[in-house]
Amino acid sequence: MNNEITSNIIYIDEASIAWKELKDRFSQCDFVRISQLHVELYSLKQFDLFVINYFTQLRILWDELCIFRPMEHTLSY
């Protein structure tokens, strides 16, 4: 972690609280961008693109959209 992030959580006693703080800080949704991505996905057409180029453009949009999905909570003991 960089020093700026570390300085904000260094005095938190419990790891779970530190992780929650980091999650809350860095998982903010950008609803405008999500809407833009949906529009781009639904309006993307292959036209004269090769299949690989079309799929690559789709994949780029899908990957960016996945960034905005909420983090899943998994516990391992």
Q: Which domain holds residue 50?
A: 3-68
Distance of CA 27 to the CA centre of its chain: 7
pTM greater than 0.85 (yes/no): no
50, exposed or middle or buried, with CB in 10 Å at 0-12, 13-18, 19+?
exposed
Does the pLDDT value for residue 1 go beyond 80? no
Q: What is the pLDDT of residues 15-74, one digit of tens each?
A: 888 888 887 777 667 888 899 999 999 999 999 999 999 999 999 999 999 888 766 666
Structure confidence at residue 74 (pLDDT): 64
Number of domains in the chain: 1
Alpha carbon distance 77, 16 (integer Å): 13
Structure confidence at residue 77 (pLDDT): 55
Alpha carbon distance 71, 73 (integer Å): 6
Residues 6+ apart with CB under 8 A from 67: none
Q: Is residue 43 part of a domain?
A: yes
Q: Is residue 26 part of a domain?
A: yes
Structure confidence at residue 36 (pLDDT): 94
Q: Is residue 64 part of a domain?
A: yes
Alpha carbon distance 52, 4 (integer Å): 41
Q: Is residue 74 part of a domain?
A: no
